[in-house]
Amino acid sequence: MKRLSFLPPLLLVILVNILLSWVDFRIDLTEDKKHSISEETKQILTDLEDVVFIKIYLAGDFPTEFKHLQSELLNLLTSFKSIAGDNFDYEVIDPNNTNDESEKIDLFKQLVKDGLTPTDIEIRSTSSKSSQIIFPGALIYYKDRQQAVNFLKNSVTKQAGENINASIENLEYEFIAAIHHLAKNNIEKIAFLEGNGELTDKEVYDLTESVLQDNDKLNYHYAIERFNIKEFEIDSSKMEADISKQILDLSSFKALIIAKPTIAFNMLEKFIIDQYIMNGGKILWLIDGVNATMDSLQKANSFIALKNDLNLDDQLFKYGVRINPNLIEDLRSTQIPIVTGYSNNMPQQSYFPWPYYPLLFSEINHPISKGLDAIKCDFASSIDTIQNTIKKTILLTSSKQSRINPTPAKISLGILQNPPPIESFNKSQLPIAVLLEGEFESVFKNRILPKEQSIDFKDKSKPTQMIVVSDGDVARNSVSNNGDIYPLGYDRFINYTYPGNKKFVMNAIHYLCDDVGLTRLKSKEIKLRLLDKEKIASNMFLIQFINIVFPLLLLLIATLLFLNFKKRKYA
């Protein structure tokens, strides 16, 4: 009977394992909770009405970094399947796994047509190295719809390991955002306001339509319209402009974008915008605090920059912010070319940092601005927050070496020849974009209202949000004289596109329109634990000893102890 005493514990272990095989039981012990699935993701997956099927084109013989990305992706999709059950499935495909070159080329062309972006990687072995085209992306199918997801983040400012880490951080967001887009039945409407000299269709084309013709555009997620605040329907009974109808029409939009207006708003227009907010409307304000453009410098060596008076100061102040009539000068800025001499009658150019073009790198841990690459600004102003009941979150700031140039300000290229002393750049992280959230009080409270009895005036809003940015050019793409449209954030002087501009505006709109909290997934942060190469080099012998010799010593000691124990017991 003693020999069979081990059977009950063994049977218990087997039974527990059988029971646990039917249950998805996991404990995430990682510090950054990288294996935890968010509640928003669970909600979307459990609400699926049909099967989501995903074809992943990341298979094959990869370098270590891509194997890590592949492993994390498969872990994520396995978790998705455990949540969605029969309504979720996936397949991993190696597009290079064919000996027919013609067939492979046809497949590559089809994948590009479907929206996947190829990348070229280097495969190294002990005796050779070669290059291979891969597609780090997936095609998602739901009902009769299809969506491409390119999940490799490839920033030129980051190392390969950091790019892979950024890609892993965004995997859950990229896939669940695409699934949510395919599954939702209603598409929200948003509008660009016009009538006060705002940016034109062409100047926001890359934001709305995408110059690259990819899915990174607003009209992929929303129905985009332009709303002219100066055009009214006429009330036939009174033969007057129907203000109530104008407010009602504006309220049909989930969010409103007021992009770089140049003409002052009158009181009626301000009233309509105010009541849109009071009815729960959300606004992205892209407002220049100062009138200043590089075109003015091309016509003369200098110009005087003046306050951009749009008659919005009292309204924004009431909501909780003030855009100051000044210009931020920042040591961290983009460069412009200046002719420094001539050679054989040919002008010779050199590049100099232009302090009025601050370059922003967000350090704010917020879904809108977290992890953004560089954002290019043109003549930005500082923003002050006003104390009231509204919650305020600073989204973008200047660098730690900034200063303020109040208007009227003389703008001259002479600042490059005789730069101010570095000590004068003593302002740190001046706010350039602010998120406001809460119940806003109407700026027209206790004021005389328009003479129309049918207006349902509200003096306090529903809980809502707005974002105020003190540079309208953040959302403006360049348009050449012959009508060519460049990507948003494109710097023609260095032939480079700053990706942060488009991502910031897109994130801002997503946040304002998001009902299920998708943007919260942007907050997931996986710490990149890179090895310290200098420490490795200086402690090479100790590391080798610990990893090679020390385990052997432990094994030897354990063996000697076991032999000694055995000798004593059976001697």
Task: Quick: pLDDT tens for 351-372.
Answer: 889 999 999 988 788 889 887 8
Contacts of 429 (CB under 8 A, 6+ apart): 394, 397, 398, 399, 400, 402
Residue 443 CA to residue 434 CA, distance in Å, equals 19
Residue 153, classified by CB atoms within 10 Å of its CB into exposed (0-12), middle (13-18) or buried (19+), is buried
Q: Treating both helix axes as pointing N-terminal to C-terminal, what angle do 243-250 and 267-278 enclose, rounded to 10 degrees?
A: 50
Residue 473 CA to residue 295 CA, distance in Å, equals 14
Would you give the DSSP letter of residue 181? H
Backbone angles phi, psi at 280, to 5 degrees: 95, 5
Contacts of 320 (CB under 8 A, 6+ apart): 385, 386, 388, 390, 392, 436, 440
Residue 129: predicted pLDDT: 72
**Residues in the chain where the model's pLDDT stays below 50:** 1-2, 29, 32, 525-530
Contacts of 222 (CB under 8 A, 6+ apart): 187, 188, 189, 190, 254, 509, 513
The amino acid present at 517, given as its one-letter code, is G
The amino acid present at 94, given as its one-letter code, is D
Length of the chain in terms of residues written: 571
Backbone angles phi, psi at 447, to 5 degrees: -115, 165
Closest CA to 283 of 314, 310, 319, 309: 319
Residue 344 CA to residue 114 CA, distance in Å, equals 51
Closest CA to 181 of 206, 155, 145: 145
Evaluate whether 257 touches 288 at the Cβ level (below 8 Å): no
Residue 332 CA to residue 400 CA, distance in Å, equals 9
Residue 530: predicted pLDDT: 46
The amino acid present at 162, given as its one-letter code, is E
Residue 527: predicted pLDDT: 44
Evaluate whether 276 touches 302 at the Cβ level (below 8 Å): no
Residue 200: predicted pLDDT: 96
Rounded to whole angstroms, the maximal C-alpha distance in the chain is 116
Contacts of 149 (CB under 8 A, 6+ apart): 137, 138, 139, 140, 174, 175, 178
Task: Quick: pLDDT tens for 497-507.
Answer: 898 999 999 99
Residue 201 CA to residue 469 CA, distance in Å, equals 20
Q: What angle do CA 148, 152, 153 make, to 5 degrees?
A: 120
Contacts of 44 (CB under 8 A, 6+ apart): 176, 179, 180, 183, 516
Buried b (16+ CB within 10 A) or exposed e, 35-51: eebbebbeebbeebeee
Q: What angle do CA 210, 211, 212 make, to 5 degrees?
A: 90
Residue 54, CB-side half-sphere exposure with 13 Å CA sphere: 26
Evaluate whether 276 touches 256 at the Cβ level (below 8 Å): yes
Q: Treating both helix axes as pointing N-terminal to C-terminal, what angle do 39-46 and 64-84 enclose, rounded to 10 degrees?
A: 60
Tokens standing for 319? 């909501």
> The pTM is what?
0.75
Residue 434 CA to residue 386 CA, distance in Å, equals 11
Beta strand pairing status for 464-469 and 431-438? antiparallel
Contacts of 24 (CB under 8 A, 6+ apart): 82
- How many beta carbons lie within 10 A of that of residue 532, not counting itself? 9
